[in-house]
Amino acid sequence: MTLVSMRRLSILLIVLSSLSCGLTEDDSAGVAGENNLWWAALALTQSSDASSGSSGGSGNTPGCSGTIRMFVSDDTFSGNLGGKANAGTLCSADANRLSGCTGTVAVLSVAGDLIRDMPTTYNFCSNARIVGSNGTQIADNWSDLLDGTTDATLAAAMTGGVSAPQSVHSGSLADGSLSTGNNCSNYGSTAGNNAYGATNNAAQSIYSGSTIACTSTIRILCLCY
């Protein structure tokens, strides 16, 4: 119990004690009511302790105390990434991977797991600042990343041999929603088309406005949170 809660309980007990002074032995209903009030007071202070012990909301999730970092894979891959989860594994094993991550995930849109919903899906803070692997700020927060233009191009924010213009798998429209029919069957096939992002254009980091064949080998945009 915190000091504040102890003080609150002491005040409540003093009030309850003063109320009980006029009770007689026949005031059974009054005694029962006093007991109920006492237990309610105790529960109130305990509830206060529980709520004060948690920071609540997204402030308690990875990334809120600092930044979310992005990097572009050193390796290139066709659209058959083995699904989004396996694409995250590829990010974790890549030569350009970053250290100190709670989790690493590929920035892709597949059915039921869209880029725009990633803070909720992967439990990281949507208000955290987003930077590249060299520390350059890409966006103020997740919403800013998806508003149509970034603070810096992905290429300008990257190290590890990917500072030159590159294409990255996306499967998404600029707002982080699904580009229907353009994500290589949820990144499990080389058939069909692939919506991709362009690292050298601040307005096209997530979606270049075009597609390429799923047989084409390009890089993965990865997120470290």
Tell me which DSSP letter residue 97 carries: P
187-205: average pLDDT: 96
**Separation CA 159–CA 179 (nearest Å):** 28
Q: Do residues 68 and 141 lie in contact, with contact meaning Cβ atoms separated by under 8 Å?
A: no
Q: Is the pLDDT of residue 32 over 70?
A: no
On whether the pTM is more than 0.95, the answer is no
**Separation CA 97–CA 219 (nearest Å):** 13
Non-local (6+) Cβ contacts of 192 within 8 A are 79, 181, 182, 184, 185, 213, 214
Q: Cα 196 to chain center, whole Å?
A: 22
Q: Is the pLDDT of residue 153 over 90?
A: yes
Would you report the helix, strand and coil content of the chain in percent, each value rounded to 5?
Answer: 30, 20, 50
What's the pLDDT at 63?
44
> How would you classify the pairing of strands 129-131 and 193-198?
unpaired
pLDDT band at 163 (very low <50, low <70, confident <90, very high): low
Residue 67 bridge partners (DSSP)? 129
**Separation CA 139–CA 145 (nearest Å):** 5
Q: Is the pLDDT of residue 129 over 70?
A: yes
**Separation CA 56–CA 225 (nearest Å):** 19
Q: Do residues 181 and 165 lie in contact, with contact meaning Cβ atoms separated by under 8 Å?
A: no
**Which range among 64-73, 121-130, 181-190 shows the weakest confidence by mean pLDDT?**
64-73
Q: Is the pLDDT of residue 159 over 90?
A: no
Listed residue (172, 70, 57, 207) closest to 129, CA to CA: 70
Q: Do residues 36 and 189 lie in contact, with contact meaning Cβ atoms separated by under 8 Å?
A: no
SS3 74: coil
Residue 11 bridge partners (DSSP)? none
Read off the tokens for 19. 């109320």
What's the pLDDT at 142?
96
Q: Is the pLDDT of residue 132 over 60?
A: yes
**Separation CA 167–CA 199 (nearest Å):** 6
